[in-house]
Amino acid sequence: MKRDLRFKKVLKINSSKALEIVSSFDKYREFVPGCTDSLLISRNPPVEIGRLEFQILGKKYFIESKNELFKESINITQLKGPFKNFKAKWLVHDLDHDSCEICFFAEFELPFLLNTITPQSLVESFSENIIESFINKVQ
């Protein structure tokens, strides 16, 4: 079963600064909750391959993703990891010189057993914590 997440927020910050923080893949371990390691594997503009490692309930998980960077957005596709599939997008729009709207959209599918035991409320709570960590870093 596919699940999705959507998030939107207006920030009092320049859009290029917001996008810079979201695209600094190798620094995620510094501020994303549960992220124990973040590594930029390769860069061939506009594509970056990265790997994030998480420690959740005493178990390590990783996700390796292809990140396509554009002027106002980042498209993310899981290459390896715990999801059957995972696609996401960060989108940053200028509202004026000192503010922007930042949006995050994700569509993913968990493996059958994990999907069965994982309530949507837990997925949303975990995701909100991660998204809020980006917002806090930006502000």
**Predicted local distance difference test score (pLDDT) of residue 132:** 80
Please enumerate in sequence order all residues whose Cβ is within 8 A of that of 28, keeping only pairs 6 or more positions apart, or say none.
Answer: 35, 38, 52
Please enumerate in sequence order all residues whose Cβ is within 8 A of that of 120, keeping only pairs 6 or more positions apart, or say none.
Answer: 3
- Mean pLDDT rounded to a whole number for the chain: 87
Q: Is the pLDDT of residue 123 over 90?
A: no
**Token pair 């970056």 is at which residue?**
48
Mean local confidence (pLDDT), 16-37: 88
Three-class DSSP category at 8: strand
Domains of the chain: 2-138 (3.30.530.20)
Q: Is the pLDDT of residue 105 over 80?
A: yes
- Evaluate whether 18 touches 92 at the Cβ level (below 8 Å): yes
Question: 19-23, 80-84, 118-122: which range is least confident on average?
Answer: 118-122
